[in-house]
Amino acid sequence: MKNLNKISLSLTIFTTLLYSSSSWAQDKSPLKISPIVGLERIQKVSPVQKSKTRTIVGLNILYGPSFLSAEAEVTRSEDSETLYEEDLTEKEESYAAKLGLRSSFNMAYLNWFLRAGAQARKSKYTTTRSGVTTEREPAVYVSPYAGTGFNFNLMGNLFANGGITVIFTGRPKGSDREYQTTLGFGVRI
């Protein structure tokens, strides 16, 4: 199963790069495809020894004129946290799909955008404590989202991007917002 996931990921990245390079070559194309790849690793020693790893892969697809585009985004993420002193490992595997609208405003070297829509999310949680593993899979839930971001052209085909998206989950009560922040660099091929 892990080999199948690796093959699937490799094909997704290859297809994304293939399509996105041809889409960027035709800058006026109404279709824009962008890969999403991220990795975060945290290791703490004090006050408690623990480690946390998060990976995310996916695609963002825009179609239409920049002032009002249809947007679709699909991601797969894995979180893993280990508390060594408690012999506890928690893992979350989730799939998310966003469908919405994006409106972009071009100002010379800066492209600023607003986005809004709905996100469906399916998660699976696995907890291992002292060798005993338990799993739970909550139902798929749909939540509205809204966000903003920018792309700043640094030199021709090199650009910086960033953004924030707020997902209004309604879970748990009193803390119904999930924030997704991004910051990165890109190269148009």
Nearest residue to 105 (alpha-carbon basis) of 148, 146, 66, 161: 66
CA-to-CA dists, residue 55 to 36, 45, 94, angstroms: 10, 22, 11
Total number of domains constituting the chain: 1
| Alpha-carbon radius of gyration of the chain | 19
Element (H, E) at 5: helix 2-25
Domain that holds residue 73: 2-187
Q: List pLDDT tens digits, range 18-68.
A: 444 444 444 567 898 888 888 878 877 777 788 888 899 999 999 999 899
Mean pLDDT of 140-158: 92
Mean pLDDT of 7-27: 48
> What CATH number has the domain bearing residue 164?
2.40.160.20
Q: List pLDDT tens digits, range 68-103.
A: 999 999 999 999 988 888 888 999 999 999 999 999
How many percent of the chain have pLDDT more than 90?
Answer: 47
- Phi and psi, residue 183, nearest 5°: -155, 130
pTM: 0.75
Q: How confident is the model at residue 136 (pLDDT cuts 50, 70, 90)?
A: very high
CA-to-CA dists, residue 128 to 81, 87, 92, 189, angstroms: 11, 8, 12, 44
> Is 176 a residue whose pLDDT tops 50?
yes
Q: Would you give the DSSP letter of residue 106?
A: E
Gap between the Cα atoms of 43 and 93, Å rounded: 20
